[in-house]
Structure 1
Amino acid sequence: MSRIAIRRGLMTSALYRQPSLLLGPTIGFGAVRAASSIANQDFWKGLVPKFLRPKPENPFADPNKKLAKKGWNPATFFIFIFLFIGSMAVQMIALKKDFEAFDRQSSVRIGLLKEVVGKLQRGEEVDVEKVLGTGDPERERAWQEVLNDIQREEAMIKKEKRKQQQQKEAAEAAEAKSTETPAPGRTPARPAISSHGFF
């Protein structure tokens, strides 16, 4: 072998042993390590949050063995109950506020009507249309809602009274039937005796 071939062989083996010689003087071995870590899959998998990562499979686990299901957590019942009670409490507070606002509006409107009626009874001149807001669509709609609410309440009260009256009449009819005595010419019906003897 020639000296040149031996020298080239030694140079290439030295380059393989020290990769920093291949990169030249500006890029060191640390840059190669950083570049290889960015290309590594583990680097990118490490950026994904743990709860979003797929669960690693156990290579030693038996593939035929099924995972045991976890039992019912007793705290779940209480969580659902407290959520339900909390939502009902929030709804009750909202209904209470709505009712208070409606009550205030109704009392203001009733006071306004009483004032207008009082002035009319005393003989004072009152522009009723102006006071009640005739011509203003928003105020007319508000008065229409009040009238509709009053009509609904009256209908519900009448329906409830009718129902109570029917229940009272049914109770009186049932009481009258139970207190009736049999006619004097008739004998009360005797229960039929079966032909089978007693044991």
Structure 2
Amino acid sequence: MHTDDGVTTIGGRHRALRDQVLTEIRQRIVNGDYPPGQRLTEERLAADFGVSRNPVREALRVIEAEGFVTMTPRRGAVVSTPDIETISDLFAVRASLEATAARIAAERASPADIADLRSLLEAARKATDEADFSTVAQLNNDFHTRVIAITGNRWLVSISDALYLHVHWIFRLGAADRAPHSWVEHIRSVDAIEAGDPDRAEAEARAHLHAAAIAAVANAVAD
């Protein structure tokens, strides 16, 4: 935060530091570096990031509200474990959002848009073959958000921003089993979008999400 004389205040720096810590902790959870059930102490996180405990404490409050950690008596913050209800609720929203996005994308996608999607599919195939599941999870997110962006519908884009942090997280937890099937299903979705067939694109999106939901729930039960 800058005052009229151009001086950056301590409060402004503090908020920026909190946001940096927040981004880093969130990313480590989503990427699986902090797995479900891991305890995250303020002391350890502060030492890891070279900051005081205050920005860590503030970041953990935000992440708790987002559902990534659970605060427990005497243990502090523990990385949440997505349960069946959470997963089902997420996929219920995705089914509506992504089916709509696929339908609109089939009506609006340009040749350049299709080329972008094909490029993401090829990268996902390669990462899957190399068992690079962190990259596969990121590419999965990139694919779905790219389809949404193609719609040009700002409401869909706005809704998806927060949603896809959780999509990435849940996909990453089961990526080793799910990845080989996911990118093949994505190919069928892109084929339908490229064909300009809204009904088929919507049907492929729903079929993909149905399969993904079953896999995610099975993974949660196994854990």
Give the alignment's TM-score, normalised by structure 1. 0.20
Q: Could you say which structure has the larger radius of gyration?
A: 1
The structure where strand makes up a greater share of residues is 2
Larger relative contact order, structure 1 or 2 (CA cutoff 8 Å, min sep 6): 2
The structure where helix makes up a greater share of residues is 2
